[in-house]
Structure 1
Amino acid sequence: MQADPTPERSSRVLTPEPEPEPGSESVLDPEQDARVALAEFAALHGPALRASGVPERYWGRLLHKLEHEVFDAGEMFGIMQVEEAEEESEDEAAQEARKKPNPGGELCYKVIVTNENGLQAADPNSIFLIDHAWTCRVTHARQQLQQVPGLLHRMANLMGVEFHGELPSAEAVDLVLEEMWKFNQTYQLAHGTAEEKVPVWYIMDEFGSRIQHADVPSFATAPFFYAPQQVAYTLLWPLRDLDTGEEVTRDFAYGEADPLIRRCVLLPWAPTDLLDLSSSTPEPPAEHYQAILEENKEKLPLAVSPAGYPCDHVFKVYTDIQQVLSHLTHPRFTFTQSEADADVLYNFSHFKDYRRLSQERPNVLLNQFPCENLLTVKDCLASIARRAGGPEGPAWLPRTFNLRTELPQFISYFQQRERRGEDNHWICKPWNLARSLDTHITKNLHSIVRHRESSPKVVSKYIESPVLFLREDVGRVKFDIRYILLLRSVKPLRLFVYDVFWLRFSNRPFALNDLDDYEKHFTVMNYDPEAVLKQVHYNEFIPEFEKQYPEFPWKSVQAEIFQAFKELFQVACARPPPLGLCDYPSSRAVYAVDLMLKWDSRPDGKRAMQPQILEVNFNPDCERACRYHPSFFNDIFSTLFLDEPDGCPVTRLL
């Protein structure tokens, strides 16, 4: 947990800035040189330091310590081991306790001021560098512990996990992966690709990791990326003067004022029982949706009349999507490179200023609806779905909690399931990332609580009993299904589904173990050049599925899927914006809905396949659709913009 005094967010975004251009070698005196260097340092790193609350009085000495890699904390501090009050015979419980890390129960270590003169907060030298012992992304943690020489041994020692022998044991690796959430800190890079922006987790060195929590801390810490060396450190500085022997502490729940939220955030270090708290999650109030609208900087349109075009009109299409440019060949559509001349705007990026468009060009058609983020952003999807299923959510959506706003309710629900002995596997997902990026499956409550710090996330019940598909080359694997939905209008609600659907398969047999084995638990393989992409077309899948599950005709299964789609779009369009999709007559949209099937039981006790909607995607990747069905975009445009669905492979749902 960071004790970083960041004013607005607990997640840390580090911005590696480019170094100042060389070529201006100084001929000034050393004192002047130092002033120039400090000014350059402040220009480069000042915004990050200010955001972290690092007082400017420390910047000069900080620069010196960074340039010369001065780790002088040992001159000021010492690590003290706290002896147990009484020794008992080592029974099973004691042996188990020895595996627990130092911050877990009784504190075994603490950091104190050892300098005989104490430490003064006003001293410009009172800022210290803490090195990072281990930095990784969660998906690589197990592999690094197994392969990096000495890493497992060091982490086990740091965390108080027993380690025997030279070679990494599976048990030791699992224990470190479980306990590391009491030591992990996080940041993410502000720039780069989606993959590069996935949060980074790091563990401070033995000194930094021994600093304990206090509600009223004596020190603050913050991660800091030093551009010239391309190295991340943690900065440590005092919040007050300290005498010799006083303890160095930081607030593991910095920035959280609400007592209940603080209890939840501190749960990895201070176990808390929330069983008596209601786990009910009613739909958020209207103010919640208004805040989202303002945060998205979306301006709602004025009321306009539906656009009227002659029945033989040839539409000029402006698009930045190569798949549309390559595959839209219908004679009633032509492309223009001028956005101002277009009848149809079919853009990849999100449109924001609907108000201006409705005022200046009300007849221009476009491929998105105002407020459609209510469908495409995972926390919003879970919120509006409660209109269909109440606080628990509908049967077609896994139970989902927003970790930012519903953390206490989630912990209560987790602990209730734990007490009842029910499955407690969960999947943490970012609100708004695709391709399974920064998505983690776990049954470790501490891990879920800590993931809240990195980026906005939801946590959904992991489907522990999915309907599997027998791959002759592999065995019984997970699979998901993608349908393309076409929203023609909100009022009246007109919704179509493309008759062709797409399938994705895991590459390894499913089991509720090896939760970080991507090819066992995930199905998105088309972005990994090293992964095998199993291709099964829908018309091949249906007879094979019915062969494997003869008591479940695909027609009946698909009817359940379509019913879920209808209920979702009905609740999404039932309320005025920003509580629902906006009824803008010039809007059309294409969404990809990803879903799985899980085993469930009906009231009469019969087994049933229950659709589980996983996510709704705006502007989905249609590469496979175009490759195997060249008329795909002709069908889409005919249905949405010409109102000519007849003859197209689409089915009207609403």
Structure 2
Amino acid sequence: MQAEEDKDVSDFVQFVATHGLQLRNSGVPELYWNALYYKLKEEIFDAGDTFQMVVEESEDEETPTKWHVLVTVEDGIQCQDPTHIYLIDHAWTYRVRDAWVQLKGMPRLLERMSALMGVASEGKEQDEIITGVMDEMWKYNQTYSLGHISKEYEEAQPIWYIMDEFGSRIQHSDTPTFKTAPFYYTPSQLTFTLLWPVLALEKGDEVTRDFVSGTTDPDLRAARLIPWRPIDMTSISYTQEEPELSYFTSHKVDETLPDLSQDFPGLPRDRNVKVYTDNQMFAKHLTDPRFELVSTEEEADILWLLTHLKDYRSLSEENPGKLVNQFPCECVVTVKDILAAVSRRAGSGKVDPDSMETEPKWLATTYNLQTELPKFVSYFQHRKKKGLDNHWICKPWNLARGMDMHIANNLNYILRLPDTGPKIACKYVEDPVLFYREDVGGSVKFDLRYVVLLSSVQPLKLYVDKVFWLRFANRPYSLENLDVYEKHFTVMNYVEGGKNLKQIHYYEFIPMFESQYPGYSWSEVEESIFQMIRGIFEAASAKPAPAGIGHSPQSRAMYAIDLLLRWDKNNKGNRVIQPVLCEVNFGPDCERACRYYPDFVNNLFSVLFLDDVDGRPYTPL
């Protein structure tokens, strides 16, 4: 008997060692840990012994029934009782991109979800029922990430789940009686939701939780609660202002600015220029004899780094002769939410009251869903009242490759996405310029990438590579089936299987484009693209660091500008092609450029560091 007790103690100690940090971060009081360990080990789901689900009939056609969960034990519940922690099972766990396929392929799952969410199914086709579930599920969705146990980014992306009928029928309250938190149990590799009390309850009292726990600002709280408590927020101004200075420093960690009082001698002129780089592809292709590769940063004249430099002050004071491939505070263009904020400087700040169009035209209307959520809701609801298109693409501000991006016209869906991390919402280009692909039998979305060199901020000195790069969607475009990645996105390098990857050189594309769109000269389209690119950097350097790219005589940089084209109308009512900025990338993948153009790196270094532009494929902007 003693041996068994010792083993239980040892196992509990191991449980705490494995799960203690997770429990603390979730706010689960240590009082309940022992009971939780026992219930997990023995797979005890005993909520039915303490609670009961009851249904309330209503005359409201939208919600004819409303569920409640009540306490049924005679003595009620005391928070000091260490046994009152409960396991809630998950009925459906999924990633959004897989939801439709799972519901389509598993009729029992669809039946359960439609019943749980109150989606009428009688007399309806399967696809109609699935649509209803996917519209309603945002009222029931919870989320977690396995980032704490997975080093693989794909596995660490957010996962959504629906609690079982018991968990899903716990209602919201601004003064909740319970708390919940997702919990990953390592031995079984399963995730549950934990439920524990925060108030003493008597028999018949209701179990409630705060659906937006931790949100105290009244407007923000009202906006986040819209999926469950709809409210008109059009009285709130949707006009966007320049953020506070702290907004621009929020993504910088210990970044210092250069001491501009130093004497900067520039690169040596009496010998080869020494280059250190941790980019192996660039090291392989830098063959111009004017440059010499070295193995340490200390002996180099030029540092071409994939990692971010933070201490520009030390660089200027200790190594004023070195150049580096980065600018101070360049995150104002490379981080999506700040890029939108600085790009708005290129516009008037006004919103057309009829079309709801914002300026500049090359920037899709963009809201930060962490800091501007009430404004976004107001803007969305104003558009809805005017009958304007309301499709949005929501992106994490710090990720690329199309990861964790969502396209939606469902406000509830959009409002739940910040639960998985910081997001921006950009007005989706519903009428893009398309490219006909004979191999897929239709016209598809495409985007373009331009390589841009920034050699100076004061004065602004930019070059754009004449060679641009194209990416194509794999399925014909239409404004439906928003969860079909290959219809709405163009980054196919990372799609499993990589089928139908379309590659066309820029010099092949231009005549094909002009053939498909007679009357639209590519040179005119490209001129508007170049104007946009210059506009981005003019706006980004209009204010000193940290609100803009910092001036540094030691800095040079290469960026990749991703954009697409949309149809617009000029002041005469004629259709015109308008470029729209997608993002600005630091350290872009140049594998294709090096493969197809062996002198790509030589040309880049010649223009950027030696001002040797003649005969190079770069256009000054």
Q: Tell me the TM-score normalized by structure 1.
A: 0.90
Partner of 1:543: 511
Distance in 2 between the 1:648 and 1:460 partners?
A: 36
SS in structure 1 of the partner of residue 33 of structure 2: helix
Distance in 2 between the 1:172 and 1:313 partners?
A: 73
From 159, 162, 176, the equivalent of 1:203 is 162
Partner of 1:72: 46
Partner of 1:458: 424
User: Which amino acid in the other structure matches residue 380 of structure 1?
Assistant: I
SS in structure 2 of the partner of residue 519 of structure 1: helix
Distance in 1 between the 2:322 and 2:15 partners?
A: 50
* Alignment RMSD: 1.7
Using the TM superposition, name which of 41-50 and 175-184 deviates more: 41-50
Distance in 2 between the 1:164 and 1:497 partners?
A: 59
Q: Any conservation in 2 of the 1:317–1:345 contact (CA below 8 Å)?
A: yes
CA displacement at 1:403 relative to structure 2: 0.3
Partner of 1:555: 523
Partner of 1:20: none
CA displacement at 1:543 relative to structure 2: 1.1
CA displacement at 1:361 relative to structure 2: 2.0
Distance in 2 between the 1:30 and 1:269 partners?
A: 49
Partner of 1:186: 143
Structure 1, residues 240-280: CA drift from partner, whole Å, max 9, x if none?
Answer: 11111100000011000011111100000011001121111
Partner of 2:268: 310
Distance in 1 between the 2:200 and 2:271 partners?
A: 77
User: Which amino acid in the other structure matches residue 584 of structure 2?
Assistant: V
Distance in 2 between the 1:53 and 1:604 partners?
A: 60
Matches within 5 A, 1:332-481: 332-391=290-349, 392-473=358-439, 474-481=441-448
Partner of 1:569: 537
Q: Any conservation in 2 of the 1:312–1:332 contact (CA below 8 Å)?
A: no
Partner of 2:242: 283
SS in structure 1 of the partner of residue 187 of structure 2: helix
Distance in 2 between the 1:35 and 1:363 partners?
A: 63
Structure 1, residues 46-69: CA drift from partner, whole Å, max 9, x if none?
Answer: 111111111101011111111111
CA displacement at 1:336 relative to structure 2: 2.3
Partner of 1:100: none
User: Which amino acid in the other structure matches residue 340 of structure 1?
Assistant: E
Distance in 2 between the 1:499 and 1:344 partners?
A: 25
Distance in 2 between the 1:242 and 1:313 partners?
A: 82
Distance in 1 between the 2:359 and 2:187 partners?
A: 50
Unaligned runs of 5+ in 2: 350-357
4+ residue segments displaced more than 4 Å: none
CA displacement at 1:28 relative to structure 2: 6.1
CA displacement at 1:360 relative to structure 2: 2.4
Distance in 2 between the 1:189 and 1:317 partners?
A: 40
Q: Any conservation in 2 of the 1:256–1:262 contact (CA below 8 Å)?
A: yes
1:151 maps onto 2:151 in alignment:
no
SS in structure 1 of the partner of residue 565 of structure 2: strand
1:599 maps onto 2:576 in alignment:
no
Distance in 2 between the 1:457 and 1:313 partners?
A: 49
Partner of 2:353: none
User: Which amino acid in the other structure matches residue 536 of structure 1?
Assistant: I
Q: Any conservation in 2 of the 1:305–1:585 contact (CA below 8 Å)?
A: no
Using the TM superposition, name which of 355-364 and 613-622 deviates more: 355-364
Distance in 1 between the 2:164 and 2:202 partners?
A: 24
User: Which amino acid in the other structure matches residue 229 of structure 2?
Assistant: A
Distance in 1 between the 2:594 and 2:560 partners?
A: 14
Matches within 5 A, 1:606-617: 606-617=574-585
From 548, 558, 563, the equivalent of 1:580 is 548
SS in structure 1 of the partner of residue 155 of structure 2: coil
SS in structure 2 of the partner of residue 546 of structure 1: helix
Partner of 1:8: none
CA displacement at 1:393 relative to structure 2: 3.6
User: Which amino acid in the other structure matches residue 482 of structure 1?
Assistant: R
CA displacement at 1:106 relative to structure 2: 6.3
Using the TM superposition, name which of 282-291 and 137-146 deviates more: 282-291
Structure 1, residues 50-92: CA drift from partner, whole Å, max 9, x if none?
Answer: 11111101011111111111111111111011123x6xxxxxx
CA displacement at 1:557 relative to structure 2: 0.8
Q: Any conservation in 2 of the 1:379–1:458 contact (CA below 8 Å)?
A: yes
Partner of 1:626: 594
Matches within 5 A, 1:212-291: 212-291=171-250
Q: Any conservation in 2 of the 1:131–1:234 contact (CA below 8 Å)?
A: yes
Q: Any conservation in 2 of the 1:181–1:268 contact (CA below 8 Å)?
A: yes
User: Which amino acid in the other structure matches residue 189 of structure 1?
Assistant: L
Q: Any conservation in 2 of the 1:152–1:168 contact (CA below 8 Å)?
A: no
SS in structure 2 of the partner of residue 228 of structure 1: coil
Using the TM superposition, name which of 28-37 and 518-527 deviates more: 28-37
CA displacement at 1:164 relative to structure 2: 4.3
Distance in 2 between the 1:605 and 1:572 partners?
A: 31
SS in structure 2 of the partner of residue 177 of structure 1: helix
Distance in 1 between the 2:122 and 2:325 partners?
A: 60
1:493 maps onto 2:460 in alignment:
yes
Distance in 1 between the 2:251 and 2:168 partners?
A: 37
Distance in 1 between the 2:300 and 2:480 partners?
A: 53
From 13, 37, 40, the equivalent of 1:63 is 37
Q: Any conservation in 1 of the 2:453–2:608 contact (CA below 8 Å)?
A: yes
Partner of 1:169: 126
SS in structure 1 of the partner of residue 162 of structure 2: strand
SS in structure 2 of the partner of residue 495 of structure 1: strand
Q: Tell me the TM-score normalized by structure 2.
A: 0.95
